[in-house]
């Protein structure tokens, strides 16, 4: 069984929904996971924010506008009057639920229920389209099998058991349509896996059904060797290892959710990134195998805050680092990079929600300086110790860029450094020279997991 996920731009209109239907493999069982139509999640979040702030009339007006967009999609999507009517009724019923939530009282729990409507709309309409076309399709609601535990981690046992139950309950089907992103939490409430979480859904589902492959369909030809939004002449990478893809996703490659790799790596499931708008392109395949050594790709992660912690008591002081990280653990804030000297520690975070509390706690035993608007730039490849000269070539390219922090050696798959966000584009463009001036070795097909 294969798992295919289609993102928001891939399902962003009636025409694109029909195109997705033509991309499904025939005569083999598949699970199709859909994101909300492009722009829908943002619109639902805006509606929720308006409602929570008491601007109910504005929230209702935005809801009507979004309903009209989906009614228009339903009218254009179907060939027959009966299915156009069914589609319009389906859309209207879901938006009536939103309006009732707005009128009956609104909080964070209701907000997550409203945001979940986006995926339910696209999955429901697409299932109707396949049914109208006479295909053997079944709809399996994500809220009946996708659940996270009290730590917001996937409950894999629950997911596998309930997903298999739903699949077995529809033996006639060979296409199973479901929602990405949405789930239930440990209390049974409607929740979600975070922005971009449909990729994560696909990986979790692939793990649960022992899929032969997981396909992620977007609007770009796989992972590029640099960010095409800022750098000209980038090119797609045809193969990456799990480790390399995970590094790129975590450090800014927008095409893939950072958590997607691990569930597939555990079961050795290939992940294939494809372009809905150019399906003949081979895309990028992610497996346990690395095909080349050296420098492969560059990514950048914005919104970083650097925290410098200094204390003369740190010198030879046992337990100082433990005290620091206990503070970050208390506020459930992950650290991206860390460097140390005799009397100071510099580290970065990408979630500044609890920054003030963290700073106040650390200031009880050290001096703290904070730098905002930083960017982590990550150069990804196979940087084994025997491959000499790669780090030198990276930093030789960056002679004109002030570098705040460097992390090298913690992973054989990346060199990361911190710059002020003002220098991000300059750094990306200068590093692009690596792909013109430096030839990586020929493919060796070295299994990284061996």
User: For position 430, what pLDDT does the model report?
Assistant: 93
Q: In what side-by-side order are the strands of the sheet with 175-179? A: 137-139, 175-179, 30-34, 2-6, 213-218, 271-275, 284-287, 239-241
Judging by DSSP bridges, how do beta strands 284-287 and 271-275 pair with one another?
Answer: antiparallel
User: For position 343, what pLDDT does the model report?
Assistant: 80
User: For position 27, what pLDDT does the model report?
Assistant: 85
For tokens 């100071």, what's the residue?
344
- Phi/psi at 297 (5° precision): -155, 165
| Mean pLDDT of successive 10-residue stretches along the chain, which has 450 residues | 96 96 94 97 95 92 97 97 97 95 84 96 98 97 97 95 97 97 96 91 97 94 90 90 88 80 95 95 90 81 95 69 92 92 89 96 94 94 66 87 88 87 95 69 39
User: For position 449, what pLDDT does the model report?
Assistant: 39
Q: Is 321 helix (H, G, I), strand (E, B) or coil?
A: helix
- Phi/psi at 272 (5° precision): -120, 125
Query: What distance in Å separates the CA atoms of residue 357 and residue 380, rounded to the nearest whole number?
Result: 34
Query: What distance in Å separates the CA atoms of residue 16 and residue 11, rounded to the nearest whole number?
Result: 5
User: For position 414, what pLDDT does the model report?
Assistant: 83
Six-digit token pair at 15? Answer: 């025409």
- Phi/psi at 433 (5° precision): -60, -25
Indicate the helix (H) or strand (E) that contains 113.
helix 108-115
Cα dihedral sign, 300-302-308-309 = negative
Structural contact between residues 432 and 230, judged by C-beta atoms closer than 8 angstroms: no
User: For position 320, what pLDDT does the model report?
Assistant: 83
User: For position 444, what pLDDT does the model report?
Assistant: 40
Indicate the helix (H) or strand (E) that contains 391.
helix 390-396
User: For position 329, what pLDDT does the model report?
Assistant: 95
User: Distances from the Cα of 138 to the Cαs of 169, 179, 366, in angstroms?
Assistant: 10, 12, 59
Query: What distance in Å separates the CA atoms of residue 450 and residue 448, rounded to the nearest whole number?
Result: 6
User: For position 87, what pLDDT does the model report?
Assistant: 97
User: For position 293, what pLDDT does the model report?
Assistant: 66
Cα 315 to chain center, whole Å? 40
Cα dihedral sign, 380-382-385-386 = negative
Structural contact between residues 200 and 215, judged by C-beta atoms closer than 8 angstroms: no
Judging by DSSP bridges, how do beta strands 30-34 and 175-179 pair with one another?
Answer: parallel
Q: Which domains does the chain have, with CATH numbers?
A: 2-219 (3.40.1160.10), 296-447 (3.30.2130.10)
User: For position 445, what pLDDT does the model report?
Assistant: 40
User: Distances from the Cα of 107 to the Cαs of 62, 113, 195, 216, in angstroms?
Assistant: 18, 10, 19, 33
- Give 363's contacts (C-beta < 8 A, 6+ positions apart): none
Six-digit token pair at 383? Answer: 């940087």
Q: Is 375 helix (H, G, I), strand (E, B) or coil?
A: strand
Cα dihedral sign, 374-256-116-182 = negative
For tokens 């789930």, what's the residue?
183
């Amino acid at each position: 069984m294969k798992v295919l996920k289609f993102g928001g731009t891939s399902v962003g209109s009636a025409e694109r929904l029909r195109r997705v239907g033509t991309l499904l493999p025939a005569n083999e069982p598949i699970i199709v996971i859909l994101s909300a139509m492009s722009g829908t999640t943002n619109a639902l979040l805006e509606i929720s924010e308006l409602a929570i702030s008491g601007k109910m009339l504005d929230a209702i007006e935005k809801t009507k506008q979004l309903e009209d967009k989906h009614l228009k999609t339903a009218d254009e999507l179907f060939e027959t009057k009966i299915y156009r009517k069914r589609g319009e009724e389906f859309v209207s019923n879901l938006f009536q639920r939103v309006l009732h939530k707005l009128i009956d009282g609104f909080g964070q729990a209701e907000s997550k229920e409203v945001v979940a409507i986006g995926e339910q709309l696209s999955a429901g309409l697409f299932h109707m389209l396949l049914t109208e076309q006479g295909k053997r399709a079944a709809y399996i609601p994500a809220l009946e099998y996708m659940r996270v535990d009290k730590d917001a981690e996937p409950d894999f046992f629950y997911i596998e058991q309930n997903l298999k139950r739903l699949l077995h309950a529809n033996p006639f089907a060979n296409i199973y349509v479901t929602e990405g992103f949405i789930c239930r939490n440990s209390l049974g409430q409607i929740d979600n896996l975070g922005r971009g979480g449909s990729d994560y859904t696909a990986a979790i589902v692939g793990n649960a059904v022992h899929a032969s492959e997981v396909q992620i369909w977007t609007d770009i030809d796989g992972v590029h060797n640099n960010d095409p939004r800022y750098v000209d002449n980038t090119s797609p990478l045809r193969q990456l290892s799990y480790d390399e893809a995970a590094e790129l996703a975590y450090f800014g490659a927008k095409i893939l959710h950072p958590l997607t790799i691990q569930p597939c790596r555990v079961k050795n499931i290939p992940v294939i990134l494809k372009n809905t708008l150019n399906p003949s392109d081979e895309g990028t395949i992610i497996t346990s195998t690395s095909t080349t050594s050296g420098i492969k790709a560059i990514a950048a992660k914005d919104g970083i805050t650097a925290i410098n912690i200094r204390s003369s008591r740190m010198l030879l002081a046992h337990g100082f680092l433990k005290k620091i990280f206990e503070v970050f653990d208390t506020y459930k804030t992950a650290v991206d990079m860390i460097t140390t000297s005799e009397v100071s520690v510099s580290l970065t975070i990408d979630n500044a929600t609890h920054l003030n509390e963290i700073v106040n706690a650390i200031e009880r035993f050290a001096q703290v300086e904070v730098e905002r608007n930083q960017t982590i730039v990550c150069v990804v490849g196979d940087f084994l110790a025997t491959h000499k000269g790669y780090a030198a070539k990276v930093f030789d390219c960056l002679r004109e860029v002030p570098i705040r922090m460097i992390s090298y050696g913690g992973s054989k798959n990346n060199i990361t450094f911190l710059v002020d966000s003002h220098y991000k584009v300059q750094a990306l463009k200068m590093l692009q020279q690596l792909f013109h001036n430096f030839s990586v070795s020929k493919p060796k097909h070295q299994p990284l997991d061996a």
